[in-house]
Structure 1
Amino acid sequence: MINPPIHRSQLANGITILTIANPSADIVSGRFFIQAGSRWETAAQAGLAQLLTSVMMKGTDRLSAAEIADRVESVGAGLGAETTTDYIKLSLKTVKLDLVDIFKLAGEILRTPNFLDTQIELERKLILQAIRSQTEQPFNNAYRQLRTALYGTHPYSRSSLGTTSTMAQITRQDLVDYHQTHIRPDRLIISLAGRITPAEAIDLATKVFGDWEIPNIAAPTLVTEPVTTQPQYQVEHQATQQAIVMLGYLAPPVHDPDCIALKLIDSYLSNGMSSRLFVEMREKRGLAYDVSAFYPTRLDTSHFAVYMGTAASNTQIAVSGLRAEVDRLCLEPLSAAEIQTAKDKLLGQYALGKQTNGQLAQTYGWYELLGLGVDFDTQFSQAIQQLTSVQLQATADKYLSEPYISIVSPQENGAVEVVTG
């Protein structure tokens, strides 16, 4: 798909509207991004944003949960909400004929959730079940342990679900206060993609949100301390059939120029069955049930991680093998063929991620929220193409020299070993 035209406008109350014209199908998808999320929670209220988005969908001042579900399902539309680290999001998908009604419903959910006690308790129970389920999954435990070592008290150390303790203590007033503080027009980005013109999008947003006034309180600001942790080697034992070995490194946020080079390194290591980690660790050495890497896009300090699921007897071999593959990036430049293959994979995958209206609304709305702007779409592809093996080696050497190591092993019951250094 050729990049569609994108129109950006702003209402008087601060709402940003992106319109991505794609008339090829009679479908409109939307994303309503709020500058909030688990990054804006205190440690004592971890999980608050998650509970908020769950309960928001379960009733407004005018409609019950059943009535909301009926209005969506009766026309075959989609409407949902979620919390991430750096934002809260409502998503919609509908045929053009029903867009006005579904858009109005989304606006009502955002603006006037009723936070019924019965729905709060129901959603709380479901989230507590999800938290308990996570504790039974070795990968999640290894990742939790790694985040804690990497970030210390920074909000990125915490799961967006919170903990059983914090989730149990969140009150209805906490939800009301968070909603009043964060869900406001000057923190809202609306991204619409499909058979819709900019004039139609602006008119619809004005009718639904134009009378929404900015509160007479300052917009919330977030001040987080710099991440200053030291590498650790941690082992947690759990009843599992395999070991999870995870190596992590503090990495730059999305606005750092080095971010793009690390995205290409991530692609080289983990993109598909011909990736370096898959070929070396699984195909050649037969060590891995699962092996990959990931580098999340973050507004604050991010992290780069490589991991492997393997037999418990292979734990130390997995640690040394993963570390050798990362160290190789610091010591040896990639060949011309290796770097071109990584570029082709990454840019091909990136293009495939913008095929549907939902993907378009997500991509450009997300860029706007991150402060990158819609032009970043073109800038990203150009920057990837220009990267050299020398630049990749320098970036790897800068960030990927000393790992934080997190292991979940089936060997003993409940113990956690920590070695700092």
Structure 2
Amino acid sequence: MTSTLAQRTIHRTVLNNGIVVLVVENPSADIIAARVFVRAGSRWEAAQQSGLSHLVASVITKGSQQFSSLEIAEQVETIGASLNTDSTSDYFLLSLKTVSSDFAAMLTLAGELLRSPTFPLEEVELERRLTLQAIRSQQEQPFTIAMDQLRQAMYGQHPYARSGLGTEETVAKLTQQDLQHYHQTYFRPDNLVISIAGRVVPESAIALVESVLGDWQAPSVPLPTLNLPPIVSAPTQVITPQETQQSIVMLGYLAPAVSLDATIASDYAALKVLNTYLGNGLSSRLFVELREKRGLAYEVSAFYPTRLDTSQFVVYMGTAPENTAIAQAGLQTEVDRLRTTTLTEEELQSAKNKMLGQYTLGKQTNSQLAQIFGWYETLGLGIEFDTRFQEEVAAVTPKAAQLAADRCFLEPYLSLLGPAAVNPAE
């Protein structure tokens, strides 16, 4: 199947073993980038194994049936290529980039790592120690602490409540066998999306993937069914006194997951525009009103991540401790204003222009192209979502934005951290 999106032709093929292959030919530079998505990640972890997918990502490149950790590193570095792994809430990712002439060798190496990692015990222990250090370091970062307590309040028992790094307790208990079982469960051809962009003929790229991974057969057992706890709205306040140089104030609202459902997609697009309006850049509403005009904020912004399950719309501020109460009130006022006041056509169009411009700029490099189309495919949206999303953003009206705000921005969750923190409402 081929789709032409914004003058780019995207070829989509499903191999006999279930691997989905996407190819975008972009001959402007002699570079090929690939993203291998596995439908795994921290969303698929049990609470007592929190941090497992992160540890898998850290160790999977440290040894295979054919190569040692040093041999793998040498293969990549001697040709100036890059090969990295990562784990997020909603997917596991292997990324590679190289000049065109070395792409076959790098994809072959990636295939070896995907299919037969050995997770050497000494590498597991080393990466465990590094992860524990990272967890302890984050426990000293006020923003991270505030974000963790907000996430836990909003998501309860759902995996989104947990840090991708895990906790000291869970990471300390993870074993080599846990990593091997996770790999055996989720790393299978019918659970993979391979997205390729660069100076490559699509038919040649598909044939190469077939030659490297075509004989990898999916196991007869089906993928495990996830039975995730529901995400229920129950706004609470989590307030942590801590001696810091500034107070961190966060307001969080449960917000729609990305979806192909027309009603949900409409709110999703509208909230993406409102996120840009509120917190994207030096011209954003929060920055201008709360930092430039009132001098309340060291830092102020908003974010609304794309998620498979219910997402979160968060506004936050770092402020002087003595300004904590007025900062919270200021954030709340700016969010509530979106429910009661219809943005002008000019305000809305400015936000849409900014958002769509940044979206387009985010699809310039081969790595960006491979990432975005592979990501949409992995999330079950399809490659056509690229065009559909931009059309939905362009179609957002002031009234639609206000209605989306009215549905989403009800009572917020509050996360507050700072010196002698108290409930500002008291």
Name the TM tier (shorter chain). over 0.9
CA distance in 2, matches of 1:224, 1:114: 30
CA distance in 1, matches of 2:202, 2:252: 43
| Per-residue Cα deviation, 1:351-374 (whole angstroms, up to 9, x for no partner) | 000000000000000010111111
Residue number in structure 1 paired with 2:403:
394
Where in structure 2 are the equivalents of 1:179-190 lying within 5 Å? 179-190=183-194
Match of 1:293 among 302, 305, 308: 302
CA spacing shift, 1:329–1:5, aligned 2, 3 Å: same
> Mean alpha-carbon deviation: is it higher for 184-193 or for 196-205?
196-205
Residue number in structure 1 paired with 2:37:
33
Q: TM-score, normalised by structure 2?
A: 0.96
| Per-residue Cα deviation, 1:298-346 (whole angstroms, up to 9, x for no partner) | 0001110000001111111111000000000000000111001000000
Q: Does 1:275 align with 2:284?
A: yes
Look up the SS of the partner of 1:253 in the other structure: coil
**Contact persistence 2:34–2:95 (CA under 8 A):** yes
CA distance in 1, matches of 2:114, 2:241: 43
CA spacing shift, 1:419–1:309, aligned 2, 3 Å: closer
The number of residues matched between the two structures is 416
Task: Give, in angstroms, the shift of residue 229 of structure 1.
Answer: 4.1
Letter in 1 for 2:343: L
| Per-residue Cα deviation, 1:262-303 (whole angstroms, up to 9, x for no partner) | 101101101210110000010000000000000010000111
Residue number in structure 1 paired with 2:372:
363
Task: Give, in angstroms, the shift of residue 2 of structure 1.
Answer: 4.8
**Contact persistence 1:232–1:418 (CA under 8 A):** no
CA distance in 1, matches of 2:171, 2:30: 41
Letter in 2 for 1:175: L
> Mean alpha-carbon deviation: is it higher for 255-264 or for 172-181?
255-264
CA distance in 2, matches of 1:116, 1:91: 21
| CA-atom RMSD in angstroms | 1.4
CA distance in 2, matches of 1:237, 1:203: 59
Residue number in structure 2 paired with 1:404:
413
Task: Give, in angstroms, the shift of residue 235 of structure 1.
Answer: 1.0
Residue number in structure 1 paired with 2:200:
196
Residue number in structure 2 paired with 1:99:
103
Which structure 1 segments of 5+ residues have no match?
none
Q: TM-score, normalised by structure 1?
A: 0.97
Residue number in structure 2 paired with 1:117:
121
**Contact persistence 2:248–2:319 (CA under 8 A):** yes
Match of 1:253 among 257, 275, 280: 257
Residue number in structure 1 paired with 2:51:
47
CA spacing shift, 1:311–1:418, aligned 2, 3 Å: closer
**Contact persistence 1:149–1:229 (CA under 8 A):** no
CA distance in 2, matches of 1:85, 1:3: 32
**Contact persistence 1:38–1:85 (CA under 8 A):** yes
Which structure 2 segments of 5+ residues have no match?
none
Residue number in structure 2 paired with 1:383:
392
Look up the SS of the partner of 1:355 in the other structure: coil
CA distance in 2, matches of 1:42, 1:99: 36
**Contact persistence 1:310–1:318 (CA under 8 A):** yes
* Percent identity for Structure 1 against Structure 2: 55
Match of 1:135 among 124, 134, 139: 139
Residue number in structure 1 paired with 2:171:
167
CA distance in 2, matches of 1:29, 1:237: 46
Task: Give, in angstroms, the shift of residue 410 of structure 1.
Answer: 2.3
Residue number in structure 1 paired with 2:338:
329
Residue number in structure 2 paired with 1:340:
349
Letter in 1 for 2:276: S
Letter in 2 for 1:249: Y
**Contact persistence 2:150–2:414 (CA under 8 A):** yes
**Contact persistence 2:21–2:206 (CA under 8 A):** yes
CA distance in 2, matches of 1:200, 1:418: 62
> Mean alpha-carbon deviation: is it higher for 118-127 or for 250-259?
250-259
Moved over 6 A (4+): 417-420
